[in-house]
Amino acid sequence: MNHRLFHSLEGENIYFKALSTDDAQEIHSYASDVDVSRFIGWNLMNDLKETRSYIEVMLKRELEGTHFYASIVQKSTQAIVGTAMIFNFDHEANKAEIGYVLHKDHWGKGFGTECVALMSDFAIKSLNLHKIYASVVDANIGSARILKKNNFELEGRLRDHYFIEDKYYDALLFGKITIDS
């Protein structure tokens, strides 16, 4: 799989670059934010050492070929504003899951929509995937909106699938067929 190509994706306002422990401080600024980490499937990072260790885990996964990871960089400021990922590859069914996380200072600015568009295009043109999908906590309205803007369809709901902060949440399952059968 071509990780270098994933790391070089570029849109109008953002571009991707390889994940690096050198960027731990910037990544920690959103990985340690309760509001950001609540619905993304990562544990809250309590200190910089923990964030650096998690980046090392992500780099290991990428080296093993099970995941694509990239830092999302805002072009105008050169600041890392989030992380993009493609994972849970099913080579037999030719599908994979996408995920993304953005610093809350950059929510609602179109970066998430642009990030998903870049990953979708990459999945179609470079990975030749039949389908990409995402699972979203139903309370994460912004993330669901991003997927809908990128022509993902709501395919289902798993009731009380997530237990977060002593409360149950449904999982919304979104999918996008990328190659017609």
Does 50 reside within a domain?
Answer: yes
Q: In 66-103, which positions are buried (b, 16+ CB within 10 angstroms) versus exposed (e)?
A: ebbbbbbbbeeeeebbbbbbbeebeeeeebbbbbbbbb
Does 136 reside within a domain?
Answer: no
Does 152 reside within a domain?
Answer: no
> What pTM does this model have?
0.94
The C-alpha atoms of residue 7 and residue 150 are separated, in whole angstroms, by: 20
- For 45, the domain range is 3-129
Does 8 reside within a domain?
Answer: yes
The C-alpha atoms of residue 175 and residue 108 are separated, in whole angstroms, by: 22
Does 141 reside within a domain?
Answer: no
**CATH number of domain containing 70:** 3.40.630.30
Does 22 reside within a domain?
Answer: yes
Residue 39, pLDDT > 90, answer no
Percent of the chain surpassing pLDDT 70: 97
Does 38 reside within a domain?
Answer: yes
What domain count does the chain have?
1
Per-residue pLDDT of 78-122, as tens digits, reads 999 999 999 999 999 999 999 999 999 999 999 999 999 999 999
Does 34 reside within a domain?
Answer: yes
